[in-house]
Amino acid sequence: MFPGLDLFLPFLAAVLLLELTPGPNMGYLAIVATRYGRRAGLTTILGVTAGLTVYMLAAVFGLTAVILRMEWLYSLLRWAGVAYLLWLALDVWRSPEGDVAGIDEAPSAQRFMIRGLLANLLNPKAAVFYITLLPAFTDPARPFAPQALTLGLTHIAVSIVIHTTIVLLTWRAASLVMPDGARRRGVRAVFALMLAAIALWMAWETRR
């Protein structure tokens, strides 16, 4: 059931603003596309979208709120997510010299789908997003689940468009300026530091 334009349009505006605000997904997708190429970036989007869908459906049916009320589980997800991003940073730092920015030949690109999925499932902020935003834009006089599902699918569609744009733009920029030798090692170090910074940012943003 559609929530009504008076609620849907403000929700759409809020989602666009939130998705265009730099965050873990945006930063990680830009790094993957720049470092490993378009195919890896687009595959990562599949994982990110799957993770968002899991939390969205859980929120629609009231499961997310139950999970997040368990303080120990919230803390476990939070610190597991931070540790996972730090591990990704280490992985980028230690990646082979043969990896060239902007290429479309990254080995086993499907691994990035799993990484994108885990990065979202281990990010409690994604769960909090749905349980706080969806109820605020639904009509209490109508059934909640159909409205929340409509809004959740709208958010996922918007996120796919924005994430795809980020991947294609950063991949194109990287393909025009492909560093090599010592410069490539420097770029790898920058990417690793960026992922580490994202991990610290997530730890700060998800604190209670």
Q: What is the pTM of this model?
A: 0.82
3-state SS string for 64-131: HHHHHCCHHHHHHHHHHHHHHHHHHHHHHHCCCCCCCCCCCCCCCCCHHHHHHHHHHHCCHHHHHHHH
What total of structural domains would you count in the chain?
1
Separation of alpha carbons 133 and 14, rounded Å:
9
Separation of alpha carbons 44 and 163, rounded Å:
10
Domain ranges, residue 96: 5-205
Q: Which of 6-20, 85-99, 122-136 has the highest mean pLDDT?
A: 6-20
Average pLDDT of 33-50?
90
- Confidence (pLDDT) at 98: 43
Average pLDDT of 142-165?
92
**Which pLDDT band, with edges at 50, 70 and 90, does 100 fall under?**
very low
